[in-house]
Every structure is written in structure tokens, then in C-alpha cells.
């Protein structure tokens, strides 16, 4: 062992020498070419992650490409979000890759938990199915709706969906376009796969797989309101998604797509903290076919079909490029017969 | 002196101010000469540029671009450029941004790291955020003139 010591020293010295000699070469090799996996964009320009997995705000994708890669770099993100509503909870997590500040590929999985509200919905269905004279809970099936079991939703029901997104930046740059009006504009397409059981989908008269599309224009004024960096985003959504896919796609009247607006604003109080709000219109499709069973289902159908525009006010914190934390107050309106679904939204995005 | 650059800088300052006046005037945004004061005048800008150039020299992402730069001349040019941009009584007399960076193969990442070094310098000198943003909003549009290295998708 003793004998090998000088050799080791020599090897270490040799490696150290090679590193020292190579470092200026590596540096000069970098002229004109940024590190492929570097994070060469400015803090905050990757935005945070929307519930559908795309870079944006909390509920809307924006025109930015995820991560911090420049036109010569590849970036990636991972996110986790939790939404705590009055009657429901939602978890969302996923990841994305941003290629050369041009293409964004994203994946998100959403789990929408009904909790005790599932039992309430069971009661409501039974109530309608039996003409307002329901038997004791748990002793009757809800076969009238084509659903099975003594209780259908119970107290631990989840509606899950996976979303695969592709976003392409068409033109514009949020930072460098300061002297004129042009925003950064991207187009996006999402493939949704809902894991809703087939019998529930048939009852609601929805499909479980669909595409949705959007065009997003995001403008940043570095020296905006009060001299603070100010962001505005306007989206055009083309979609037939009920509650952005959690309740399937389309409805009794077919799979027709609606063209709907969404918007967001934000003000950077400093380089790390942005305050803002968002709005996202939702299509309203008539759910539950009238022929679904006995009883007065039109009232229940109307109640389930009711959607509201989603809104939030948020604060996002970017301590450094690798991390952002977002807290928001969201108001999603009526979801699956339950009104006033507002609450707290918390989200974490890591970039690398 | 390069009248083309000074004209273009003046033009962008005028556009910036008039857009600011049109868009945000109602919210009481300060004007350019207020910002010159907020930068601490010529002395403040000189101190800022010293810190900035120091930051750049210590920034391994970009310092190799300046390996052969004439640092005193660079500082002199930057002081005048920033002073003029924020409404001070200075004249930048160097080459325009396209000529000054021709053939240097500057990447978007390098441009951004340099911007961050400027932000860090402005933070160190406690320049108010509105004044910082005013300068950045004049520097950011220079990216297409300065950055010539392209990526695989443009």
C-alpha cells in the first residue's frame, strides 16, 4: 500500500494538471456556445407551472417556455400543486422539458378528490332516482343512473386525468421586445386522458379522451406600472373539456369545441416576488342524457353541468432559478353541483 | 462620436418615455432625469460601472469574453452610455452595439448573465427598482444587436 502512495500522488497531480490546462480550453470552447444544460434565461422567465403542467400561472398556460434554457439550451421542470377547496381537494404533479426556448413538452397528472362530498353526491342521485323519497344511505343502488354499488362515489372517490402538452413559441420575446407592442406568442395542444369509469362517462354522456388547444400571448413591460415589471397574458382556448377535463369532454349535445378567453396579469414587486390574478372561462356542456333513468334527472343534469369561470389571485416567489413557490386564493365556482368552490392553492416548481 | 448610435439611443429613450407616459403616466412613473438622480448622477453611475465590471470579471459564465478587453476604455464607454440612457448630460461616442459586438459570437445566455451582473451591481448600490427597470428596459432591446450566436431552432 505504501508503494502505491507516490503513484496516487502522481495521478492526482496529473489529473489536477489536466484540469488546469483544460479549463481555459473549455472556457474558450464555450465562445458562441452556451452550456447545453445551463440555465441562461433571467430569473422568473420560466414562470411557474399551471395545473395542466404547462409553464404559466396557476390555472392558465402562458406563452413562455418552461425552464431557463435559452435558444441553445435545454431546461426542465418538475412541479407539485395542491388545491384545497370547500368541498374537494385536488393534487397535480408533473414535469416538463423546454427545448431551445422554442418547444415545451409537459406531462401532468391530476387527482381530484371528492372526499365526503362523494357521499353527498350519492344522496343527491338517490334522492332524484327515488323521487325525493330515498331509502337509508348505503342500502340502495344507484342503478337508475347506470351506476353500480350501494354507493357509487362513497367517501374516498377520485377523478384522475393525465395531460400531455406540447407548446411551441411562434414569435416574440417577453424580455427583449420592449420598444414595441409585440408580445411573445405560443400555440399549445394538450392531450387529455381521463380515468373516469366507463359507466360514469356514459351516464354523464362525455368522452374520456380529448384534445384541447390554445393560443397564448404574453407581454412583459420591464418598466411597467409604477416602474415595476408588469405582465399581461391573453389566451384563446379551443376546448370541449368539462372542468378542464376532470368531468370528461363534450356532453349530451356532442363534442363541439368552444372558443373561450383566459387572461392573467402580474406585477413584480421586486426581482423575486410577483403578485397577480388570473381568469379562465370554462365551457358549459349539458351533461347526463335525459334517458339515463327514472326520475327527474333534468334538474340533477343541470346542476352537474353548471360550470363557472376559474379565477385566482396569486403571489409567486422565485428565491432562485431552481425553485418557485406559489400561493393563491382560487375561486372555481360551481363544480359537480357544489357551489362556491374557493380555497387555497399551493404550488412548487423546481427547474434544472 | 457616432451620431447613429446616439440618435438610436435618444430615439429609444424617447420611445420609452413616451410609451411610459402613454401607458403608465397615470400611475406617476418618474421621468428619465429623475432616474439620473436616482442613479446618483455621474459619480453614482461611475461607481455602479466599477462594481458591474468587477462582477463581470468574477462571473465565470462570461468573463472569458472580456479576456482581451481594454477595461478602462470599456468602463469609460459604459459610464457614458448608461448616463446618457438614464437622461444624464453625457454623450456615448463609441461604436454602435452591432459594430461593437461584431464577430464576438455572444450568446443569449451570456447577454443574460451580463444583465444579471448589472442587476446585482444596481442592488449593491441600492438603486431604486423603478430606476433599475428603466435602464433594463433600454438595454434589453439591444439583445438582437448584441447576440449573434444562434441555436438549433433559431
Q: Is A34's CB within 8 Å of B109's CB?
A: yes
CB contact A1 to B (< 8 Å): no
Mean pLDDT of all residues in B73-93:
95
How much is the ipTM here?
Answer: 0.85
With a cut of 80, say whether residue B33 has pLDDT above it. no
pLDDT band for position B100 (50/70/90)?
very high
Give residue A13's pLDDT.
61
Compute the mean pLDDT over every residue in chain A, rounded to the nearest whole number: 88
CA distance A105 to A189: 10
- Which domain range does residue B138 map to? 3-146
CB contact under 8 A, B107 and A222: no
Q: Which of B140, B149, B150 sits opposite A178 (nearest CB)?
A: B140
Q: Is B143 on the interface with A (CB under 8 A)?
A: yes
- Model pLDDT, residue B154: 82
pLDDT at residue A351 greater than cutoff 50: yes
Question: What per-residue confidence (pLDDT) applies to A232?
Answer: 98
Question: Does any domain span residue B87?
Answer: yes
How many Å apart are CA A152 and CA A140, to the nearest integer? 10
Instruction: Please state whether A293 falls in left (phi above 0), alpha (psi between -120 and 50) or beta.
Output: left
Say if the Cβ atoms of A100 and B138 lie within 8 Å. Answer: no
Mean pLDDT confidence for B19-29: 46
B154, part of any domain: no
Q: What is the pLDDT of residue A246?
A: 94
Taking the mean position of all CA atoms in its chain, how far away is CA A268? 22
Contact between A278 and A314 under an 8 Å Cβ cutoff? The reply is yes
Sign (positive or negative) of CA dihedral A202, A204, A205, A208: negative
Nearest to B133 among A40, A41, A222 (CB): A222
Give the whole-angstrom CA distance, residue A296 versus residue A335. Answer: 20
CATH number, domain of B127, equals 1.10.490.10
Average pLDDT over every residue of A72-91: 96
* pLDDT at site B22: 44
| pLDDT exceeds cutoff 80 at A109 | yes
With an 8 Å Cβ cutoff, is B150 touching chain A? yes
Across the interface, whether the CB atoms of A223 and B151 are under 8 A apart is answered no
pLDDT at B14: 47
pLDDT digits (tens, 9 = 90+) for A124-143: 877 777 766 666 655 555 55
What is the reported pLDDT for A291? 57
On whether the CB atoms of residues A305 and A285 are closer than 8 A, the answer is yes
Kindly tell me if the per-residue pLDDT of B26 is higher than 80: no
Within 8 A by CB and 6+ apart from A170, the residues are A185, A186, A187
Percent of chain B with pLDDT over 70: 79
Residue B58 has pLDDT above 90, yes or no: yes
Interface size, chain A vs chain B, as Cβ–Cβ contacts under 8 Å:
126
B26, B133, B135, B142: best to mutate for the A interface, most A CBs within 10 A: B133
Q: Do A227 and B29 touch (CB under 8 A)?
A: yes
In a domain, B41, yes or no: yes
DSSP bridge partners of A213: A189, A238
Q: How far apart are CA A42 and CA A320, in angstroms?
A: 10
Label residue A24 by pLDDT band (50, 70, 90): very low
Determine contact: B25 vs chain A, CB below 8 A. no
What's the gap in Å between the CA of A51 and the closest CA on chain B? Answer: 28
Answer whether residue B143 shows pLDDT above 60.
yes
- Which ranges constitute the DSSP H helices of chain A? 4-29, 117-129, 198-204, 297-305
Residue of higher predicted confidence among A19 and A33: A33
Distance to chain A for B73, nearest Cα, Å = 22
Contact across the interface for A40 and B23, Cβ inside 8 Å:
no
The answer to whether the CB atoms of A221 and B23 lie below 8 A apart is: yes
pLDDT of B117:
98
Give the lowest-confidence range in A145-159, A199-213, B105-119.
A145-159
**Number of domains forming the structure of chain B:** 1
Q: Is B23 on the interface with A (CB under 8 A)?
A: yes
Q: Please tell me the distance from the alpha carbon of residue A156 to that of residue A303, in angstroms, as a whole number.
A: 22
Please give the backbone phi and psi of residue B4, each rounded to the nearest 5 degrees, phi first. Answer: -65, -45
Minimum distance, in Å, between the CA of residue A286 and any CA atom of chain B: 43
Burial class for B14, CB neighbours closer than 10 Å (0-12, 13-18, 19+): exposed
Chain segment A189-239, per-residue pLDDT in tens: 999 999 999 988 988 899 999 999 999 999 999 999 999 999 999 999 999
Q: What is the mean pLDDT of residues A147-168?
A: 86
Binding residues of B: 101
Q: List the one residue out of A10, A41, A121, A56 whose CA is nearest residue A278.
A: A56
Partners of residue B21 on adjacent β-strands: none
Task: Return the pLDDT at B25.
Answer: 41
Considering the domain boundaries, does residue B48 fall inside one? yes
Position A122 scores a pLDDT of 83
Q: Could you tell me if A240 and A256 are in contact, meaning their C-beta atoms sit under 8 angstroms apart?
A: yes
- Higher pLDDT: A146 or B110? It is B110
Q: Residues of B at the annotated binding site for heme?
A: 101
Specify if B151 maps to a domain.
Answer: no
Q: How far apart are the first and last CA of chain A?
A: 42
Q: Which structural domains are found in chain A, ordered by start? A: 32-114+157-351 (2.40.160.40)
Higher pLDDT, A122 or A37: A37
Interface of A with B in 304-333 (CB under 8 A): none
pLDDT at A151: 74
* Burial degree of A277 (CB within 10 A; 0-12, 13-18, 19+): middle
Q: Hey, are the CB atoms on A229 and B110 less than 8 Å from each other?
A: no
Q: Which residue of B has its CA nearest to A35?
A: B109
Residue whose C-alpha cell reads 394538450 in the numeric block: A190
Residue A116: what pLDDT? 87
Amino acid at each position: 500500500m505504501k508503494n502505491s502512495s507516490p503513484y496516487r500522488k502522481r495521478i492526482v497531480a496529473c489529473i489536477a494538471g489536466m484540469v488546469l490546462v483544460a479549463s481555459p480550453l473549455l472556457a474558450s470552447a464555450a465562445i458562441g456556445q452556451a452550456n447545453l444544460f445551463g440555465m441562461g434565461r433571467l430569473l422568473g422567465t420560466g414562470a411557474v407551472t399551471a395545473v395542466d403542467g404547462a409553464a404559466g400561472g396557476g390555472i392558465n398556460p402562458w406563452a413562455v417556455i418552461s425552464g431557463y434554457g435559452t435558444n441553445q439550451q435545454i431546461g426542465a421542470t418538475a412541479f407539485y400543486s395542491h388545491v384545497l377547496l370547500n368541498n374537494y381537494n385536488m393534487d397535480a404533479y408533473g414535469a416538463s422539458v423546454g427545448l431551445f426556448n422554442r418547444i415545451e413538452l409537459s406531462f401532468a397528472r391530476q387527482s381530484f378528490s371528492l372526499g365526503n362530498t362523494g357521499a353527498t353526491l350519492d344522496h343527491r342521485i338517490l334522492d332524484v332516482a327515488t323521487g325525493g323519497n330515498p331509502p337509508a344511505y348505503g342500502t340502495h343502488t344507484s342503478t337508475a343512473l347506470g351506476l353500480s354499488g350501494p354507493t357509487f362515489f362513497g367517501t374516498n372517490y377520485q377523478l384522475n386525468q393525465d395531460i400531455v402538452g406540447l407548446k411551441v413559441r411562434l414569435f416574440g420575446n417577453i424580455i427583449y421586445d420592449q420598444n414595441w407592442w409585440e408580445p411573445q406568442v405560443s400555440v399549445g395542444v394538450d392531450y387529455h386522458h381521463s380515468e373516469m369509469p366507463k359507466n360514469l362517462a356514459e351516464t354523464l354522456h362525455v368522452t374520456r379522451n380529448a384534445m384541447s388547444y390554445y393560443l397564448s400571448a404574453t407581454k412583459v413591460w420591464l418598466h411597467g406600472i409604477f416602474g415595476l415589471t408588469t405582465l399581461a397574458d391573453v389566451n384563446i382556448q379551443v376546448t370541449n373539456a368539462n372542468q378542464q377535463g376532470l368531468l370528461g369532454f363534450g356532453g349530451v349535445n356532442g363534442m363541439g369545441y368552444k372558443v373561450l378567453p383566459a387572461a392573467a396579469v402580474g406585477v413584480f414587486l421586486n426581482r423575486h416576488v410577483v403578485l397577480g390574478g388570473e381568469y379562465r372561462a370554462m365551457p358549459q356542456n349539458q351533461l347526463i342524457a335525459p334517458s339515463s333513468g327514472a326520475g327527474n334527472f333534468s334538474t340533477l343534469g343541470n346542476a352537474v353541468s353548471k360550470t363557472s369561470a376559474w379565477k385566482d389571485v396569486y403571489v409567486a416567489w422565485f428565491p432562485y432559478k431552481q425553485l418557485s413557490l406559489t400561493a393563491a386564493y382560487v375561486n372555481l365556482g360551481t363544480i359537480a353541483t357544489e357551489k362556491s368552490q374557493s380555497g387555497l392553492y399551493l404550488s412548487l416548481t423546481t427547474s434544472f | 462620436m457616432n451620431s447613429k448610435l446616439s440618435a438610436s439611443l435618444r430615439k429609444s429613450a424617447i420611445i420609452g418615455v413616451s410609451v411610459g407616459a402613454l401607458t403608465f403616466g397615470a400611475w406617476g412613473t418618474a421621468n428619465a432625469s429623475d432616474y439620473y438622480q436616482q442613479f446618483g448622477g455621474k459619480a453614482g453611475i461611475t461607481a455602479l460601472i466599477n462594481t458591474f465590471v468587477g462582477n463581470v470579471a468574477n462571473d465565470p459564465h462570461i468573463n472569458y469574453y472580456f479576456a482581451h478587453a481594454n477595461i478602462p476604455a470599456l468602463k469609460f464607454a459604459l459610464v457614458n452610455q448608461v448616463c446618457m440612457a438614464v437622461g444624464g448630460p453625457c454623450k456615448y461616442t463609441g461604436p454602435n452595439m452591432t459594430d461593437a459586438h461584431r464577430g464576438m459570437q455572444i450568446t443569449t445566455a451570456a447577454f443574460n448573465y451580463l444583465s444579471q451582473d448589472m442587476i446585482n451591481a444596481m442592488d449593491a448600490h441600492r438603486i431604486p427598482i423603478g430606476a433599475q427597470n428603466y435602464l433594463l428596459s433600454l438595454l434589453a432591446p439591444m439583445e438582437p444587436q448584441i447576440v449573434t450566436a444562434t441555436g438549433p431552432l433559431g
